[in-house]
Chain A
Amino acid sequence: MQDEDARPAPEALLAEAAAERRGKLKVFLGAAPGVGKTYAMLEAGHARRRDGVDVVVGVVETHGRRETLAQLADLEVVARRQVDYRGRMMDEMDLDAVLARRPQLVLVDELAHTNVPGSRHPKRYQDVQELIAAGIDVYTTVNIQHLESLNDIIAQITRIRVRETLPDSVLEKADQIELVDLTPEDLLKRLREGKVYLGDQASRAVRHFFSPGNLTALRELALRQAAARVDDQMVHYMRAHAIAGPWPVGERLMVCVGPSPSSARLIRAAARIAERLHARWFAVHIETPGSERMDDAARDRLAETLRLAEQLGAEALSLPGTDAAEALVAAAAERNVTRIVIGQSQRSRWKALISASPVSRLLRIAGPIEIHVLPDLEASEKPAAPKPRERRAIDPRPYAWSALMVAGVTGAAHLASGVSENSNSILSLVFIAAVIAAALNFGLLPSLATAVLATLAFNFFFMPPLYRFTVADPANIVTLFVFLGVAVLLSGLAARSRLLAETARKREAAASALYSFARKLAGVRALDDLLWAVVYQLAMMLKVKVVILLPDETGSLTIRSGYPPDDHLTEAERAAAQWSWDHGRPAGKGADTLPGAERLFLPLQTASGPVAVIGIEGEESGRALSADMRRLVDALCDQAAVAIERVALVDELDEASVKAQSEHLRSLLFASISHDLRTPLASILAAATTLRRDHDKLEPLVRDELLATVEEEGERLNRFVGNLLDMTRLEAGVLELKRDWTSMADVVGTAFRRAGQILRHHKVAIDIEPGLPPLRLDHALIEQVLINLLDNARKYSPEGSLITVAVTRAGDFVETAVTDQGSGIPEGERDLVFDKFYRARAGDRQVAGTGLGLAICKGFVEAHGGRIEALAGPGGVGTRLCFALPIEPLAEAPADD
């Protein structure tokens, strides 16, 4: 037994793991006050408490909100510390009281809070860090505007500078971030209903803060923060598990793209630079009002370009802005980008004369950001002949409405002109109103038509000579032209603002569709559930039938899920799906390749290759999908691809960790077996050789001792081999129960007859309840269970102490408990003792044995439909191992006599 120390000690590993335990930080992140962070945190706290976690409230600001108060009602709240600050009593979280209370989880509201001067730490997040260091988990809340790196940009957006800031590192180090999201509409509704606490700030500033525009911007920032965080976690996880991949180090790159066909080359060039720099990179398209006029082909190309960027590892963004250069620099600054890559485009000479090129503007305003200008790589190639602009059929309705409006305004003006003689200036304003209304409602062309119509009407009805298109007074001619000019100008401006609003609305709709899609996929862990979620969501959002195909073990694509469920593929469809998988391009109906198929097949791919193919079957018979829908589908597919890859990656990791675990188990097994076989053999051989060689020189007493050693060690070896064989039988699944009617009393009797010897150094008490029903069991196996339990009790309790065997009835079970007075098993480890090779931590002495015994007990008892558990002994002393076997009704015995 001298080699005990050299063996791997699982208990030492356990201790090490326990020492490393730090608390975990979970942050509930919100875009603005009032989104419900505190409520969400309390709800999560309640959920944990229901799971049996010891939860207390460190500090929660209810601001008198009823729901929050109600949530708080039944949680334990640590009383706050009263601090006197310049004559005012202030409340602060009582850090020491929480530390002394030592809960498993503490809820701390408002992470960015600044403590009253004189507190231990100036900032609340420092209190939280101390709690975490003490091994206490913390749930906390924070609003996005408190984040230090976002402070400036948020001040710009909202015109309110937030003084309480939080270092980004605190959020970065959080173990978990939960985004508490509320749409701006809902938040404003809550604000109107008085459900948002605004503090005592000047209310006008606050009202400005809560404008829909600000809230949308803040929400976007919060969403981005949370999304970036997801990626960081993945990167961290991959790195921790030694998965190859690019890691961002400092440098960040942004490439600006447009719909030009050369953008793809630009993206590839940027990808190469990013790879060389190991930089995280972004591909940005600045959506200027002009880009709304892009035709479908250009839009498709742009979407294609951005998707390419994503596949190459970029974060693709599409941002609104009126000035491309300014918007680009702002976007770059917001993301701490260090280099911007743009392409030098061919510009016509006259355009170059009247305005500075975007490139030179960019160079002027970029500040510290490096600008890489790549030549237009496509310049030497003849650009493809511009496609004839798609002729959109003109909708006559806006023009009719415009004409009607002009007529109405003319009527109204006619009445007004009756009131005052010289009222042309007022009348012109009335007409202008009509022009603006047309521009806002119908866009540029109808408003221009309105402007012309209004000018004519103005001239015809109100300028002398009346009811003619001629103008007598030259001054009136000037008036008329100025009027026309103003009308045209205004209609342009108004139409442009309408376009901007329209763009924003579409983007919001697409973004929220994508967000909700991503959110629905995010929580799914199992691949089959994820595939189902993907097809279901796609089918619901696009109103189409969807199937998803993945390669099976043999590598051929098969339908793994579908909504509505469908598993039929025609030959043409199979070919289209395979082509789509192989080439990473769409195929089937509506695509260039194999358009004869019933469905359109789109590849789902990530940077590392294809992960799946989806098949879409539209309702209409013509093209499978409109161009707009295609763009949405492409975006959704990218999300789905990433989600599928993520789940697959997690599966792979699981597999790897299971493998590592079984490797670990195997090495434990070998260590254990070789020890348990060799130790008794070593004793036996040593004793035998001594007896043989030195027989005559040995005192009779010593000889007896050596012989006793041979006998005892032989028995021990025999027990161990028996355990190994039992375990093998259990593992191999060849355990056949040979059940006979017997009683636990009888089993106790035979167990003691066979193995009573091992308890010769202990006191034994047997207590069997009289009148117990018989059991139908495999006597030999249950006898072994009892012997193993007795052997375990013997090993883990001091010699001379009492071991009790008690058999009682417990409902429909007969329960047998073996209780010792040893050192006991720590509460958290009691379920582990039935695991193979588990051995309770050795206290001051090492105990021999493989840790197989109790695992065998569990196997045998469960094979009988029984249960086994480890409990603390009475009064918390020692261990009570107890198994219960089910009582079956006994057939009537045949009549006696």
Chain B
Amino acid sequence: MTEPTVLVVDDEVPIRRTLRTVLETHGYRVLEAATAADALRRLGAERPDLVLLDLGLPDRDGIEVLRELRAWSAVPVVILSARGDEAAKVKALDLGADDYVIKPFGTGELLARLRTALRHRAQSAPEPVFESENLRIDAAARTATVNGQAVKLSRREWDVLRVLVMDAGKVLTHRQILLKVWGPAQEEQTQYLWVYIGHLRDKLEPDPARPRYILTEPGIGYRLVRAEEG
């Protein structure tokens, strides 16, 4: 397998330099862009496998870069952004970004996000099976077992769980889940979602109060992870 190419879009030289060092150490080829215009040009010309996009660029808003890019490319995009900017992150995710990393970030977290994003693009069809520790979920067969014991789930619970399993490892916004489960009419009704996430945790998590698999992304949505990765 050839080494994947990552385009790092950030106007700060130290950040680009650090990211280049980290990524190259872990077997990525790195391209750099400091402005939105530069980024779009290199995207068209060099077709990277993944984009690390900072939302604060000197010439244009990162969100706009994303919007333009999504018009013609399905390349995985991971957003770099600061805490306290949840609205922008949700917007980016709803516009088709694959994930986000909060600045400042740890290297381990960054690499995990990149791996997840690349894996999803690599798969021709989403993997309906999720396995971690003693939990096994098969969304296609609608079976879930904890410690080998079958767990009974309602239809809606299955609907929610299936959405999570299909994009396991990736953050899903409230809106994205609601849209897929209940349809466009209910997309603001986060309390429904909260209720079903609660049910799922009660049935699947060893300690529902401190979930290991179904994680809350504050202000954004939920993410299903393997305990080994969370």
Contacts and interface: CB of A to CB of B under 8 A. Distances in A.
A, B co-complexed: yes
Interface of A: 714, 718, 722, 725-726, 729, 738, 740-743, 745-750, 752-753, 766, 768, 774, 776, 778-780, 783, 890-891, 893-894, 896-897
Nearest to A718: B104
Contact of B182 (A745, A778, A890, A894): A894
Contacts of A776: 191
Contacts of B208: 745
A733 to B, nearest CB: 15
B7 to A, nearest CB: 26
Interface of B: 83-84, 86-87, 104, 154-157, 174, 182, 186, 189-196, 198, 208-211, 215-219, 230
A743 B190 CA distance: 12
B84 A746 contact: no
Contacts of A890: 191
Given A740-B194, A747-B218, 16 more contacts: A729-B84, A740-B174, A741-B190, A742-B216, A743-B194, A745-B208, A750-B217, A766-B209, A768-B209, A779-B216, A890-B191, A893-B192, A894-B186, A896-B154, A896-B155, A897-B155
B218 A780 contact: yes
A740 B156 contact: no
Nearest to B197: A746
B99 to A, nearest CB: 16
Contacts of B186: 894
A774 B156 contact: no
A896 B156 contact: yes
Contact of B194 (A741, A749, A778): A741
Contact of A774 (B84, B87, B189, B191): B191
Contacts of A738: 86-87, 219
Contacts of A725: 84
A749 B84 contact: no
26 contacts: A722-B84, A725-B84, A738-B86, A738-B87, A738-B219, A740-B194, A741-B191, A743-B194, A743-B198, A749-B209, A749-B211, A749-B215, A749-B216, A753-B230, A766-B209, A774-B191, A774-B194, A774-B198, A776-B191, A778-B219, A780-B84, A783-B218, A891-B191, A893-B191, A894-B186, A897-B154
Contact of A750 (B174, B189, B192, B218): B218
A722 B86 CA distance: 14
Contacts, number: 77
A359 B86 CA distance: 91
A692 to B, nearest CB: 14
B209 A779 contact: no
Contacts of A748: 209-210
Contacts of B209: 745, 748-749, 766, 768
A869 B148 CA distance: 47
Nearest to B156: A896
A750 B216 CA distance: 7
Contacts of B154: 896-897
A353 to B, nearest CB: 100
A324 B190 CA distance: 93
Contacts of A722: 83-84
Q: Which of B87, B193, B198, B216 is packed against the most chain A CB atoms within 10 Å?
A: B216
Nearest to A711: B106
A779 B219 contact: yes
Nearest to B192: A893
Query: What 10 A-B pairs have minimum CB-CB distances, sorted nearest first?
Result: A741-B191, A779-B218, A741-B194, A780-B218, A780-B219, A740-B190, A745-B209, A893-B195, A897-B155, A896-B156
A767 B210 CA distance: 11
B190 to A, nearest CB: 5
Contacts of B195: 774, 893
A750 B209 CA distance: 10
Contact of B210 (A766, A779, A891, A897): A766
B205 to A, nearest CB: 10
A857 to B, nearest CB: 16
A749 B210 contact: yes
Contacts of B84: 722, 725-726, 729, 780
B210 A752 contact: yes
Contacts of A783: 218
A752 B219 CA distance: 16
Contacts of B215: 749-750, 753
A893 B186 CA distance: 11
B108 to A, nearest CB: 12
A749 B208 CA distance: 9
Contacts of B192: 893-894
Contacts of B210: 748-749, 752, 766
Contacts of B230: 753
B92 to A, nearest CB: 15
A742 B220 CA distance: 12
A57 B191 CA distance: 61
A740 B175 CA distance: 12
Contacts of B83: 722, 780
A745 B154 CA distance: 23
Contacts of A726: 84
A894 B189 CA distance: 10
A890 B194 CA distance: 11
